[in-house]
Structure 1
Amino acid sequence: MADVSATAARRVRSRHCHGGDGAVVDTISGLPDVILQHIFTYIPTKYAIRTSLLSKRWRRVWCDTPSLSFNSSILNDDWINQTPTGYTAPKMMHFHLKSDKKHDAPHIDKWLEFVMSRHVENMVLSFLLLKYSFPDFFYVNPSLKQLTLKYCDMSPECSVSWTSLKKLSLVRCSVSDESMAKILSGCPVLESLTLNRCHGLSYLDLSRSLRLRTVVVVERSSSVTGPKVIEAPHIHYLYLRYAQFPCTLVDVSSLTEADVDTNEVITYSDKVMNMLEKLQHVEKLTFGGNLLQVLSVAQLRGVPFPMFEVKALTLKTRIFHYVIPGIKGVLQNSHDLKKLTVHTIHCKTKPVYIYLTINLFIYPCLFNMAQLSRRSKDAVRRDIKAKRLTSLVVLVLKNTKTLENMFLVLDKQYHKFKKMIQKLSRYNKVSIALAN
């Protein structure tokens, strides 16, 4: 205990300053309780509790902090379970619990009951190795506004009533169509829904979620599949990252912005164009490099592209041959385009050979294989050159008539091509800017 006290004291002293006579002035303890409690919300609760060893005043400060954060893998069970006895805050703003111990299950019910009695507004629960099923009372909470659940089984047997919930995030959770429908019916003011690597969903029907504006669906591997069909007539923003096969969009008529890509390069299918047709009216679009490679296959096969009404287009991709036909196809069918951003940094684009299945035989797609040869001087490994960048800019300028601004977010080494890009922009009315 003495060691803990000394450590806590040193931390506080390190934030003290010296007065004119060289004496140490305690500037931290002089802060109002509300400011100290706000600071405590950014650190694990175990550190906040340690400050109670400094004085009675500090003990009162942590007890009224409207935030608790625990990780059972590094804390003693008794220590966690005794914490509520000293907690006096009438209302809790944030509660974060991470548990990976199977024997924690009996205590979690008590913890949830405790934090819900304090009208918690923001809750994050993660149960990595624990097969935990929520009790019925968990699904009835009028004060909850934000909820993030990780590694949970979402199977409510009762009616759900989260009447104040605005943001729901499910990460690696199991949830069926029936369970999701029950959850959504109990969230009348839900504004944002995130499904990250969840499984069990087939048809995501959001037609009754009248206030829902943002939907994020992420699928990392083909073994954990996201919803195959999405019906979301009221949303304004859609973020899709599928591992292999695109989903079917039934109704996204209110959509104003969409960010779409695949985590792997997939074989072209008509489902890709069917999905893009549902995005024709969207004014702000972002396409990733893997999707652009698939669109390159469609372009070379002569598949007609939908006519886009996009005004601001962002392409997140490395610059290499595999994406060029796809970019060309999109630009040629974007007659209202005003702003184009090409973002090449931190892209997860995988430059690979794409194969098409035609008449049950597998043939290489119709790229110019000489251009794609890894032995070529302009191979994918060496595509970060002026030639590639210049070719892209020329391609854009030739295939757009309404473009006003073009932004290239590039790696530092691209800046040596700044003069070259500026020279190209002189002969066009398009403003071209470089950034990193």
Structure 2
Amino acid sequence: MAETTSNQTTNGALTDLPEEILIHILSFLPTLYAVQTSLVSRQFRSLWSRVPSLDFSYDLFPSAVPDPTRLFASLVDRALLLRSISPIQTFRLSFLYYYRYSSHVDSWLRCAVTRFHARELHLDLYIDKEYQNEVSLDEMYEFPFAVLRDSRVEVLSLTRCYIWLPADMNLVSIRTVHLERIEMTDEMVRDLISGCPNLEDLEIHDCHGMENLKICSQKLKRLALGYFYDCDERNTVEIDCRNLWFLKFDCCSFTQFRLKNASCLVEFHIGIVHMEQYYCLWTKMVKLLEQAPHVKSLNVENWWLKFVISENPFPKSFKLQNVRLLELRTGYTQYDLIGMAALLALCPNLETMILDYLHKIEEDESLPEEISNIPVNLNIPRLKEVKMLKFFGSEDEHTFVTMLKKQGAALWKITLFPFKIEGNSCHQYPPVVLRRKPCQCEVTGSSSP
């Protein structure tokens, strides 16, 4: 009886809210859950159909039911039929695709674009690795680009499907394209960029088939390339985008990297597995900084000791004069600190440094004696703030914090984020903040566990 009263009180509190707020709350739920709220009360019966987004997620669907894909398709059909005809912001579909559902997916996309005038279209036909054992690799959906003609779609995200680009494609509304697990040729990338004349944000992730990738655009502002592994000797990437301000390489193994007209580039990210076999790739990406003199934010691994003692480092006069924010994945051994010091020497105007844990699959090389005996000097004349993510409380980490306090004349704040791994569980604790006083640093906030 008490439980019934509690439910009635909760329902009463919900129904007292304005419909605009209820609809906003429902917009954070997958459509399957939003539809279920129609059982709460009469007021809720039609609210889900006015939510400005549709999110059909197959991985949230009960797999124990007989023929779940057929039941899921029926749910999508019925939801689209019953929904009120009003514009939506986002249409998101993740689905375990089979050829027999081709006409269903066609109609769902057409409904989202032409009936509901969606501005964002997200189609994921991969979902998760565990589902791929159930589907033949030959069963791939061909995305109908023709449905986007004269549409309002600004964001297009496609995962695991075939794409074919009509020669006369002119999708002026599209600003953002994210492609993942799609077979593409160099010509298809070129046609995509030319067919979307207002494209500003392009992400190509874990796609194959390109040999000499050329990305040339006057409008592109953000570019992210990820998981181009095991490229052979023919694979190159050339980027010529004079308005590009953000560039990210995540695990890219192109043989050659070329960067042109990068005067607007201010944010540069490099990420790759920290193994000896990938060091040469890391070097090729880092060397692109010579063509990007105005970078203000740099995100990279700490492989800098190996780089500065290599045969082809930066010229002695080279400096990253404009870098104000550095995000560095690193350890805190003597090897790491010497490499960090070498990088900091290139960034004389650095103001903020964020340090994250670097997972090393292989051990560092031994330090040459002539280097190991040199005291580490951190060149941080303008550094104001340091954040140490995943602070394990090791002796090396505490030694590094002491160095920061002694050598950072401008440093006024160090934030430690205590982190512990116990068995199979990880624990993140509240941050510890060290603030500089006129004569000392004071600990505020919670203490380290």
TM score, norm. by length of structure 1: 0.75
Structure 1 residue 297: Cα displacement? 2.8
1:122 corresponds in structure 2 to 120
Cα distance in 1, alignment partners of residues 205 and 235 from structure 2: 8
Cα distance in 2, alignment partners of residues 239 and 72 from structure 1: 30
Gaps of 5+ in 2: 62-67, 127-134, 418-449
2:93 corresponds in structure 1 to 97
Structure 1 residue 428: Cα displacement? 5.4
Question: Does the 8 Å contact 1:15/1:27 carry over to 2?
Answer: no
Between 1:65-74 and 1:222-231, the stretch displaced more is 222-231
User: How many aligned positions are there?
Assistant: 381
1:311 corresponds in structure 2 to 323
1:429 corresponds in structure 2 to 409
1:344 aligns with 2:356: yes
The residue correspondences of 1:149-168 to structure 2 (distance < 5 A) are 149-168=158-177
Cα distance in 2, alignment partners of residues 338 and 60 from structure 1: 54
Structure 1 residue 88: Cα displacement? 1.2
Question: Does the 8 Å contact 1:316/1:344 carry over to 2?
Answer: yes
Structure 1 residue 55: Cα displacement? 4.9
Residues 302/55 of structure 1: CA separation in 2 closer, same or farther (3 Å cut):
closer
The residue correspondences of 1:35-434 to structure 2 (distance < 5 A) are 35-72=21-58, 74=61, 76=71, 77-102=73-98, 103-117=100-114, 118-128=116-126, 129=135, 130-210=139-219, 212-219=220-227, 221-222=229-230, 228-245=237-254, 247-265=257-275, 266-268=278-280, 271-272=284-285, 274-289=287-302, 292=303, 295-306=304-315, 307-308=318-319, 309-312=321-324, 313-334=326-347, 336-339=348-351, 341-345=353-357, 347-352=358-363, 367-368=366-367, 395-397=376-378, 400=379, 402-405=381-384, 407-414=386-393, 421=401, 425-426=405-406, 429-431=409-411, 433-434=414-415
Q: Amino acid of the residue matched to residue 435 of structure 1?
A: L
Question: Does the 8 Å contact 1:415/1:434 carry over to 2?
Answer: no
Cα distance in 1, alignment partners of residues 12 and 285 from structure 2: 64
Q: Amino acid of the residue matched to residue 46 of structure 2?
A: R
Question: Does the 8 Å contact 1:240/1:259 carry over to 2?
Answer: yes
Question: Does the 8 Å contact 1:95/1:123 carry over to 2?
Answer: yes
Question: Does the 8 Å contact 1:198/1:226 carry over to 2?
Answer: no
Cα distance in 1, alignment partners of residues 338 and 346 from structure 2: 13
2:428 corresponds in structure 1 to none
Residues 145/430 of structure 1: CA separation in 2 closer, same or farther (3 Å cut):
same
Q: CA RMSD in A?
A: 3.6
Name the SS of the counterpart of 1:161 in structure 2: coil
Gaps of 5+ in 1: 1-9, 18-23, 355-366, 372-387
TM score, norm. by length of structure 2: 0.73
Structure 1 residue 233: Cα displacement? 2.0
Question: Does the 8 Å contact 1:142/1:161 carry over to 2?
Answer: no
